[in-house]
A and B are shown apart, each in its own frame.
Chain A
Amino acid sequence: MSSTRYLEISQMGKTFPTDTGGFEALRDVQLTIQQGEFISLIGHSGCGKSTVLNIVAGLDQASVGSVILEGKHINEPGPDRAVVFQHHALMPWLTVYENVELAVAQVFRGRKSSSEMREWILHNLNLVGMDHAADKAPHEISGGMKQRVGIARCLAMEPKVVLMDEPFGALDALTRAKLQDSVMAIQAELKNTIIMITHDVDEAVLLSDRIVMMTTGPAATIGDIVEVNLPRPRDRLALAEDQLYNHCRHQVLEFLYSSHDDTADEAEPVAHDSDCVELPTTIENAPSDLEVSAEETALKNSSNQAA
């Protein structure tokens, strides 16, 4: 099995039973992911992004089609496809350390001694910069820190694929930026294969190798894929002025605001000149679930002035 076909989603469809017959949420989703690739799934609310992620995680079953990871069919959840949940999903009765330990003790049972496990847990907490809070309870740390612990727990399972369900969606802009940088640094070091759901166009462009854009449901599918060929490591401040960055960003925005959006007629038409930088006016007209935050734009601008 070559690494170009590490994870393969083929002909995947999902129909949910309802009182008035089946609701076809996904149809014919086809995607091949390479080892070490960072993929973003972007699309409007309710387009089935989370369903795709849940099926890859094994938490949900596809109605038709299959998901194959390293040549093996996926039909149940497992630590090889660890999930970072939007709302951290830490056990509130366990400390930061114990939350990671719960996963490590199960996944490495019989493979690591207890001292090796302890070292491994602390190593992963260190990776996300949370080793100082190992003995704190989740309610004692901030939202961003909880999400860091969630990421540490995920990484500690040594997953083949990391699945992130809007990992930064519940965080404020500054915390989000810091966490994005951390995730980029970790991915550069560990070469994880990552699938991330996001609503944030900037986040998608900054982090991804490819951005998979989904059409609006029912029977949602992959509308288009944008390749982001920006060199790594990426610096958010430098990229704000980068033509390629803005081109990619523009492509994604264009997809989301035009043909695949019911409210497209009301939205301001997007200029087709791909070199131009998106203006905040367009952003303000965005449907509320698309978070191209004005705060972040302001942050960049002020940083640029400072520089």
Chain B
Amino acid sequence: MSVTTADSSGAGTATPAAPSSSKIGDFIAAKLFFPTFGILLFLAFWQIVAANIVTSLGAFPGPTEVWTQSKNLVVEHQEQRAKADAFYERQEKRNAARLEKDPNAPVKIRSYTGKPTFFDQIFTSLYTVAFGFVIATAIAVPLGILCGLSESAYQAINPIIQVFKPVSPLAWLPLVTMVVSALYVSDSPMFEKSFLNSGFTVALCCLWPTLINTTVGVAGVDRDLVNVSRVIKLGSITHVRKVVLPSSVPLIFTGLRLSLATGWMVLIAAEMLAQNPGLGKFIWDEFQNGSSNSLGRIMAAVITIGLLGFALDQLMLRLQRWLSWDKQAVVR
């Protein structure tokens, strides 16, 4: 029986397995009433406290102000999209008219260069973190398997892990920036340099939780199962695929989820500091902008970051449930 946190919260309906009405009552209380109560209490507290904090940019935004600014962000996004559509429409008309006069006329197609909206920034942040996370996973999981299988490999790699694990992303960032500028020289770059800077910084920081947890998981495979594999004389690749990986899936995923959470935090910091596009830059720009709306907009970004982080973790949880052989296991 899996105990889910968020996905069943919307379900006040009784499943066939929950027949007694008191159980349904408990369920509603646990999944619906108390969380709602907690959130409402928090919002009230926030509203009262916010009204009493006055900054140089006006009062600290309460929930209502943040809600207003959130709606503004949506409206701005829609306006930008409308402008972009109008731009492309004009361009198309112009080109069509030009071709009508002279079929051989050179046709220029330019992309719209408006200011990225809040939602553009969200999208940028999401694919940057995905890029860094995928790179880190591609390195950490195989390396972790190696460290878990071979004591000598573990002894060789462990000191390096221990030294680099606690290093802050902000310390890596200048180095990554310089290295990317020096090495990534291309006339028609596939990626923006700023994107690579953020991506690699994220990768460097979310390598470690996956690496450590994979190592622990692989080293902890049941001795009997390892002995079965030795008696059968499974090749090392089959051994990893059929015995080691299924057995260490839970710990690998624990590592992956920690990594993704780390990566998401690191990314915001990296975008802020290095002026790379994304939610971090959005916050920084608003802060520099210093209008009376800025704090509300930043608060909206903060909540968005939190919700997206939560969504990313839930996504990993689903992936784990789907990949894991043990459907009975309680995954939290």
Instruction: Please report A residues at the B interface, Cβ cutoff 8 Å.
Output: 57-59, 77-79, 81-83, 85, 87, 89, 91-94, 102-103, 106-107, 139, 157
* Number of B interface residues in the complex (CB < 8 A): 19
- Contact: A82 with B325, CB < 8 Å? no
- Contact: B230 with A103, CB < 8 Å? no
Supposing A85-B224, A89-B222, A93-B326 touch, asked if A78 and B231 sit within 8 A by C-beta, the answer is: yes
Q: Inside 8 A of A87's CB, which chain B residues have their CB?
A: 224
Closest CB of chain A to B161's CB: distance in Å? Answer: 28
- Contact: B233 with A106, CB < 8 Å? yes
Q: Inside 8 A of B243's CB, which chain A residues have their CB?
A: 91
- State which residues 210-241 of B face A: CB under 8 Å: 222, 224-225, 227-228, 230-235, 238
Q: Inside 8 A of A106's CB, which chain B residues have their CB?
A: 232-235, 238
A157 to B, closest residue via Cβ: B232
Closest CB of chain B to A98's CB: distance in Å? Answer: 9
Q: Inside 8 A of B238's CB, which chain A residues have their CB?
A: 106
Q: Inside 8 A of B81's CB, which chain A residues have their CB?
A: none
Beyond A77-B227, A79-B232, A93-B246, 17 extra complex contacts between A and B, CB < 8 Å = A57-B231, A59-B227, A77-B230, A79-B233, A85-B224, A89-B222, A89-B224, A89-B227, A89-B228, A91-B225, A91-B246, A92-B325, A92-B326, A93-B325, A93-B326, A139-B328, A157-B231
Closest CB of chain A to B323's CB: distance in Å? Answer: 11
A94 to B247, CA, bound (A): 11
- Contact: B325 with A78, CB < 8 Å? no
Instruction: Please report B residues at the A interface, Cβ cutoff 8 Å.
Output: 222, 224-225, 227-228, 230-235, 238, 242-243, 246-247, 325-326, 328
A94 to B228, CA, bound (A): 14
27 pairs across A/B with beta carbons < 8 Å? A57-B231, A58-B230, A59-B227, A59-B230, A59-B231, A77-B230, A77-B231, A77-B233, A79-B231, A79-B232, A79-B233, A81-B231, A85-B224, A89-B228, A91-B228, A91-B246, A93-B247, A93-B325, A93-B326, A94-B242, A102-B242, A103-B232, A106-B232, A106-B234, A106-B235, A107-B232, A139-B328
Contact partner of A85 (CB less than 8 A), chosen from B227, B233, B234, is B227
Q: Inside 8 A of B247's CB, which chain A residues have their CB?
A: 93
A117 to B238, CA, bound (A): 18
- Contact: A82 with B231, CB < 8 Å? yes
Closest CB of chain A to B232's CB: distance in Å? Answer: 5
A159 to B281, CA, bound (A): 66
Q: Inside 8 A of A59's CB, which chain B residues have their CB?
A: 227, 230-231
Name the residue in A59, A87, A91, A139 with the highest tally of chain B Cβ atoms < 10 Å from its Cβ.
A91
A125 to B234, CA, bound (A): 21
- Contact: B225 with A89, CB < 8 Å? yes
Contact partner of B227 (CB less than 8 A), chosen from A83, A92, A94, A157, is A83
Name the residue in B227, B228, B246, B325 with the highest tally of chain A Cβ atoms < 10 Å from its Cβ.
B228
Q: Inside 8 A of B230's CB, which chain A residues have their CB?
A: 58-59, 77
Q: Inside 8 A of A94's CB, which chain B residues have their CB?
A: 242
Closest CB of chain B to A52's CB: distance in Å? Answer: 15
Q: Inside 8 A of B246's CB, which chain A residues have their CB?
A: 91, 93
Q: Inside 8 A of B235's CB, which chain A residues have their CB?
A: 106
B234 to A, closest residue via Cβ: A106
A92 to B224, CA, bound (A): 12
Q: Inside 8 A of B325's CB, which chain A residues have their CB?
A: 92-93
A89 to B228, CA, bound (A): 7
Q: Inside 8 A of A79's CB, which chain B residues have their CB?
A: 231-233
Q: Which 3 A-B pairs have the closest CB atoms?
A: A93-B325, A89-B224, A93-B246
A59 to B227, CA, bound (A): 7
A57 to B328, CA, bound (A): 34
Closest CB of chain B to A152's CB: distance in Å? Answer: 13
B238 to A, closest residue via Cβ: A106
Supposing A91-B243, A93-B246, A102-B242 touch, asked if A85 and B328 sit within 8 A by C-beta, the answer is: no
Closest CB of chain A to B27's CB: distance in Å? Answer: 27
B243 to A, closest residue via Cβ: A91
B246 to A, closest residue via Cβ: A93
A289 to B152, CA, bound (A): 38
- Contact: B231 with A83, CB < 8 Å? yes
Name the residue in B222, B231, B243 with the highest tally of chain A Cβ atoms < 10 Å from its Cβ.
B231
Closest CB of chain A to B241's CB: distance in Å? Answer: 11
A263 to B328, CA, bound (A): 46
Closest CB of chain A to B45's CB: distance in Å? Answer: 47
Q: Inside 8 A of B222's CB, which chain A residues have their CB?
A: 89
Q: Inside 8 A of A85's CB, which chain B residues have their CB?
A: 224, 227-228
Q: Inside 8 A of B326's CB, which chain A residues have their CB?
A: 92-93
